[in-house]
Structure 1
Amino acid sequence: MAEVPFIAIEGPIGIGKTSLAKRLSDQFNFHLLKEIVEENPFLGKFYDDIDEWSFQTEMFFLCNRYKQLEDIEKKYLLKQKAVIADYHISKNMIFAKRTLQADKFEKYEQIYHILTADMPVPNMMIYLHASLDTILERIKMRGREIEQNIKASYLAQLAQDYETYMNEFEIMHPNIPVIRINGDQLDYVKNQNDLEYIIHEVQKQLQTFQVAPK
């Protein structure tokens, strides 16, 4: 039996992960897994004072993503039903390394590895990246009030962190295909041809999978 597709979309804040995940979910009739963001009660405080609220914020995200993946595994993946997610749980480490002080990061890392030791791992990644100007424009366009205090310097650092992480990911996981999408060049929300290009790239990778109905 071939692996059931479990696709994760990753990239910096505001890059368009959820928008793309929705479109691909509709196209391929895969279950859509969306991360919990605005429900995080610490997020607004985090953007105002990262040092003070980073640990609470990251722990909330970690626990919720752990629960989501646990449910997804039982309800879909183990039943050979494909899933597409607008995040990869390893993003927690990208943010934690950037925001947590050394002593708190050490504690967080231990908890992270305990929780994720037997979690399902995506077998395809879509990595969205773009310039800081594009990221800032998209954050402004979607108009989440909670994100209006994000500093451009933080977003720039985060974008670089993602680039470093994805380069390392491809080295560490050579058997997991990574589709890289340049958000400066492709706008799959406004341009149908751009969306069809991405669908085609995903379809090529899906040819190795055996997909069960949703």
Structure 2
Amino acid sequence: MMNTPFITVEGPIGVGKTSLSKAIADHYQFHLLKEIVEENPFLGKFYTNIEEWSFQTEMFFLCNRYKQLEDITKNYLQRNKPVVADYHIYKNLIFAKRTLKKEQYDKYVKIYEILTADMPTPRLIIYLHASLSTLLTRIAARGREIERNIDPDYLLQLSEDYEIAMAEWEKNNPSVPVIRLNGDSLDFVNNKQDLITIFKQLDQHFQKGASSNETTRQI
């Protein structure tokens, strides 16, 4: 399982994680793992009243992501079948730290650590980031009803939280390379050349193998 490619794509809401994950899955014939979003019964209420519905929302995401990772480990990674996911379960701590009260967060972290203790670690993380204006434009374009009430200030804070969290991840997990992609300058959905550029960089990582310890790159 350690030599089986397991890639996760991360970044704030609306940055294009699922679109890029789908493209990678199609190009390399990887299994695509998509996070459960709209199925969360608390999410719409969360965007309307974050303080009231944050704990329920975060717990739903944590339990479902745990179950998804458990399934792909058994059905794919342990059978040497590559996987690309449009999230890393580490994101739960990013969101929870922003939205939960201290007492709730402390309890949440304990549950998170128990559930993720034996979860698979990705061999590569692709981190997408973009300006607030780009995120808002893409969120509006996909037209999800549950995202209609997202507060731009919350989205901006989330982007800043991601920057901090990804820097901490790189510091604490030097064996897991991180590719940073700027969503303001890369339009991999509408520009085929941008997507080819990303694939070329992924090819380099695959060729160097699971044991390489590469420097984080910025496109």
TM-score by length of structure 2 reads 0.94
Shift of 1:209: 3.9
Shift of 1:208: 3.3
Structure 1 gap segments, 5+ residues each: none
Aligned counterparts, 1:3-152, within 5 A: 3-152=3-152
**TM superposition outliers: structure 1 runs of 4+ over 6 Å:** none
Instruction: Give the whole-Å Cα distance in 1 for the aligned partners of 2:151 and 2:175.
Output: 36
Does residue 207 in structure 1 map to residue 207 in structure 2?
yes
Contact 1:4–1:77 at 8 Å: present in 2 too? yes
Hey, what does 2:178 align to over in structure 1? 178
Instruction: Give the whole-Å Cα distance in 2 for the aligned partners of 1:97 and 1:66.
Output: 18
Residue identity in the other structure for 1:31:
H
Instruction: Give the whole-Å Cα distance in 1 for the aligned partners of 2:97 and 2:15.
Output: 20
TM-score by length of structure 1 reads 0.96
Contact 1:43–1:57 at 8 Å: present in 2 too? yes
The one-character-per-residue Cα deviations of 1:66-86 (angstroms, maximum 9, x if unpaired) are 000000000000111100000
Query: Kindly, what percent of the aligned residue pairs are identical?
Result: 63
Structure 2 gap segments, 5+ residues each: 211-219
SS in 2 for 1:207: helix
Shift of 1:118: 0.5
Contact 1:187–1:194 at 8 Å: present in 2 too? yes
Residue identity in the other structure for 1:208:
K
Contact 1:123–1:176 at 8 Å: present in 2 too? yes
Residue identity in the other structure for 1:66:
Y
SS in 2 for 1:113: helix
Instruction: Give the whole-Å Cα distance in 1 for the aligned partners of 2:167 and 2:49.
Output: 30
Residue identity in the other structure for 1:86:
D
Instruction: Give the whole-Å Cα distance in 2 for the aligned partners of 1:109 and 1:170.
Output: 20
Instruction: Give the whole-Å Cα distance in 2 for the aligned partners of 1:148 and 1:137.
Output: 12
The one-character-per-residue Cα deviations of 1:26-63 (angstroms, maximum 9, x if unpaired) are 00000000000000000000000000000000000000
The one-character-per-residue Cα deviations of 1:86-106 (angstroms, maximum 9, x if unpaired) are 000000000000000011111
Instruction: Give the whole-Å Cα distance in 2 for the aligned partners of 1:92 and 1:50.
Output: 15
Instruction: Give the whole-Å Cα distance in 1 for the aligned partners of 2:71 and 2:205.
Output: 25
Shift of 1:2: 6.3
Hey, what does 2:197 align to over in structure 1? 197
SS in 2 for 1:160: helix
Contact 1:2–1:209 at 8 Å: present in 2 too? no
Residue identity in the other structure for 2:187:
D
Contact 1:4–1:82 at 8 Å: present in 2 too? yes
